[in-house]
Amino acid sequence: MSYAIDIETFLAEVADVVKDKEVPVVDLIAVQTRDPFKVLVATLLSARTKDEVTAKSAARLFKKADNLFALAELSEESIAKLIYPVGFYKTKARHLKRLKEAMAEFDYTVPKTIDELIRLPGVGRKTANLVMAVAFKKEAICVDTHVHRIMNIWAYVQTDTPLKTEMALRGKLPRKYWLTVNSLLVAFGQSICRPIGPHCDQCPLAGPCPQRGVRPRKTKRKIMKKEQELRLISWNVNGIRAVEKKGFADILTGLDADVIGIQETKAQPDQLSEALKNIPGFTSYWHSAERKGYSGVAFYSRLQPVNVISGLGDAEFDCEGRVLTLEFETFFLLTIYFPNAGEKLKRLDYKLRFDAKLLSFAQELEKKKDVILCGDFNVAHKEIDLKNPKSNVKNPGFTPEERAWMDSFTAAGFVDTFRIFNQEPGQYSWWSYRFNARAKNIGWRIDYFCVNQAAQPKVKNAAIRQEIMGSDHCPVELVYSP
């Protein structure tokens, strides 16, 4: 199929949509300072980093060093401290520390050609183009990931890398857009045409847009029909108010799920914003711990349940807000936050009592209809389920006692759905925040979707969504045909 969009109309519509949106931070710094040095530094900081983080880090750095010579006076460690938490802050600090030395050949001024700019430490084509366009108003096309992505969604180019997009745009994009296209599409990509779940329902281009490879967000509740496939998600968010600041509502919508089970909300209903309780298209259900800022589970559902059950019916566990059940016509769905066995295994006995109670609760439900259990089980079942099994035998989450319970749970007929489809090692759902563990994939698979044996034929797929960030856990997914 061939598409031919009218780029002038498209960019005019985008300009209209984003006129009240935030200006990308690098443009903002250019407007505020008209200083190529600051534009260069802010552009270096902005790679793989949210605009608001870049803005704060750049402001901290410029307060201490607002020119090249002052920057060279700072140690690499102080630069790293000032720019933290931008992405790759240590590498960026190293590059910034070397900037003065590298700019000596340009008389300590920011060079004005792409070929010269890319000789500076940490400066690639994208950064060079952005500096050319924003600081010097020179003919350059900066291709941020938003530009690359959106131009491909529009089928204006059909490329697989930002560099190829830049080259293709040089051949066909009218020159009058070269300087502005990046700012326009970054603002548009951050607000409407988002990478996950673009807001096509609010977009003036929804009619003519080819929407190549796009899965728009859903905004309507739906009625469950027999034979339909449901996408179910489980995610330990490690504090729902913290993840709200990282764009939780958009991530949730973009997951394209029918029901999402959440664990470790760490919030009581009166601590939740209205926006968090009422995400368009979903009804939310909450079961919180009595203790503030601790444990807690929730559901967001597009489907209307016939019944909601809070807890296990046992005060010892229900005061910690660990289990919430939605009953649908043909199955029960549980979101569970299993206790952690704790430092020096102080809570191992509590956890084992919880495990036993949970199993008998699920077995009672199973007598009525199928049961799907999802959540953070806080245990890696087998050696394949964590990176370093040998050194963790006595640690919470991999003790023989906890693993023995998982054995008895599966012996009772409950099936770990992920292992139906995937027998590979290195498939993890949790990584420590320390030691750069996620980047090195030193993790554990402790988040599960399990079903009773009779429901197994209805399981169509199970997956781990490692690409979703925002917590030390990533979501896990089940595709299920009730």
Binding mask 337-356 for ligand SF4 (x = CB under 6 A): --------------------
Binding mask 97-136 for ligand SF4 (x = CB under 6 A): ----------------------------------------
C-alpha to C-alpha distance for 432 and 429, rounded to whole angstroms:
10
Distances in whole angstroms, Cα of residue 146 to Cα of each of 44, 47, 321: 17, 12, 40
* Closest distance to ligand SF4 from the beta carbon of 222 (Å): 20
Q: Which of 12, 31, 59, 206 binds ligand SF4 (CB under 6 A)?
A: 206
26-34, 55-63, 198-206, 301-309 -> range binding ligand SF4 (CB under 6 A): 198-206
* Closest distance to ligand SF4 from the beta carbon of 47 (Å): 23
65-73, 194-202, 403-411, 457-465 -> range binding ligand SF4 (CB under 6 A): 194-202
Tell me how far apart the terminal alpha carbons of the chain are, to the nearest angstrom.
Answer: 35
Q: What is the DSSP string of 358-379?
A: HHHHHHHHHTTSEEEEEEE-S-
Q: Is 163 in the site for ligand SF4 (CB under 6 A)?
A: no
User: Which CB sits closer to ligand SF4, 198 or 261?
Assistant: 198
Distances in whole angstroms, Cα of residue 173 to Cα of each of 146, 168, 189, 254, 285: 16, 8, 19, 30, 49
Tell me whether residue 315 is exposed, middle or buried, using C-beta atoms within 10 angstroms of its C-beta: 0 to 12, 13 to 18, 19 or more: exposed
Q: Is 186 in the site for ligand SF4 (CB under 6 A)?
A: no
Q: Is 153 in the site for ligand SF4 (CB under 6 A)?
A: yes
Q: Which of 36, 216, 305, 375 binds ligand SF4 (CB under 6 A)?
A: 216
E strand or H helix that includes residue 136: helix 125-136
Q: Is 7 in the site for ligand SF4 (CB under 6 A)?
A: no
User: Which CB sits closer to ligand SF4, 95 or 218?
Assistant: 218
User: Which CB sits closer to ligand SF4, 117 or 153?
Assistant: 153
SS3 175: helix
Q: Quick check: 370 and 458 in contact, CB under 8 A? A: yes
41-49, 211-219, 286-294, 373-381 -> range binding ligand SF4 (CB under 6 A): 211-219
How open is the CA angle 157-159-160, to the nearest 5 degrees? 150
Q: Is 193 in the site for ligand SF4 (CB under 6 A)?
A: yes
Helix, strand, coil tally for the chain in percent (to 5): 45, 15, 40
Q: Is 12 in the site for ligand SF4 (CB under 6 A)?
A: no
Q: Is 203 in the site for ligand SF4 (CB under 6 A)?
A: yes
Q: Which of 24, 162, 197, 198 binds ligand SF4 (CB under 6 A)?
A: 198
* Closest distance to ligand SF4 from the beta carbon of 214 (Å): 4
Q: Is 187 in the site for ligand SF4 (CB under 6 A)?
A: no
* Closest distance to ligand SF4 from the beta carbon of 249 (Å): 16
Q: Quick check: 410 and 356 in contact, CB under 8 A? A: no
Which among 418, 420, 427, 345 is positioned nearest to 386, based on CA atoms? 427
Catalytic residue among 144, 258, 355, 376: 376
192-200, 325-333, 432-440, 445-453 -> range binding ligand SF4 (CB under 6 A): 192-200
Active site annotation includes 349: no
SS3 of 256-286: the string is CCCEEEEECCCCCHHHCCHHHHCCCCCEEEE
* Closest distance to ligand SF4 from the beta carbon of 4 (Å): 15
Strands (E), 315-394: 323-327, 331-337, 370-376
Number of amino acids touching ligand SF4 (CB under 6 A): 13
User: Which CB sits closer to ligand SF4, 207 or 457?
Assistant: 207
Which pair of tokens denotes residue 50?
């949210």
C-alpha to C-alpha distance for 47 and 288, rounded to whole angstroms:
38
E strand or H helix that includes residue 299: strand 297-301
C-alpha to C-alpha distance for 451 and 464, rounded to whole angstroms:
16
Tell me whether residue 72 is exposed, middle or buried, using C-beta atoms within 10 angstroms of its C-beta: 0 to 12, 13 to 18, 19 or more: middle
Q: Which of 214, 224, 279, 348 binds ligand SF4 (CB under 6 A)?
A: 214
> Looking at the annotation, which residues are catalytic?
376
In the complex, the residues that contact ligand SF4 under the rule CB under 6 A are: 153, 192-193, 198-200, 203, 205-206, 209, 211, 214, 216
